[in-house]
Amino acid sequence: MENSYLPENFERVLLSEEQIAEIVSTLAERINHDFQGRELLVVGILKGSFMFMSDLVKALKITCHIDFMSVSSYGNATQSSGRVNIVKDLSESVSGKDVLVIEDIIDSGITLDFIIRHILNKGAESVSLCTLLNKPHRRKKDVPVKYWGREIEDEFVVGYGMDYAEKFRNLPFIGILKEN
């Protein structure tokens, strides 16, 4: 991808469309293997995970149901506030089910720790985490990330569903914003 394609507020492309597709395929193979013969409830965390989740579930060869949660901890900031609020809770019962939570990026772990506890309290049999991007060195809460696509440094990324102040979600790649 040529730099002329990038808006001038990007430093660089972190992951191209092709690289993302390869990561999604690899993760789907692992999930297909691990959940073979079982039904899975796939829960996307809105809004950031919608593109990743869509591509991932298309590659799954197992029976799965789909649901969504929307939580807020960022607002228009680039770092989590530390407070997690449920904006939209699950529609489907998780009681006795294996749940796979799909997230775009795991940073502090605060939001995912809250979500895991919330789903387990609702009676899920198991909860596994799948994220496209992982920032383990930023963890404030230790969350068990079973499936992750790429480990990244402490850079603020947008594109492929991820945003800054609701901008850039529609980009087909993941880029790093320039610092202002």
**Enzyme catalytic residues:** 107
Residues near 22 by beta carbon (within 8 Å), at least 6 away in sequence? none
E strand or H helix that includes residue 126: strand 126-134
Report the C-alpha gap between 93 and 171 in whole angstroms.
Answer: 33
Residue 156 tokens, joined: 């603020």
List Cα–Cα distances, 148 to 3, 5, 91, 126, in angstroms: 27, 28, 26, 18
* CB 78 within 8 Å of CB 107: no
Report the C-alpha gap between 42 and 27 in whole angstroms.
Answer: 14
The closest alpha carbon to 161, from 176, 173, 148, 149, belongs to 173
Residues near 18 by beta carbon (within 8 Å), at least 6 away in sequence? none
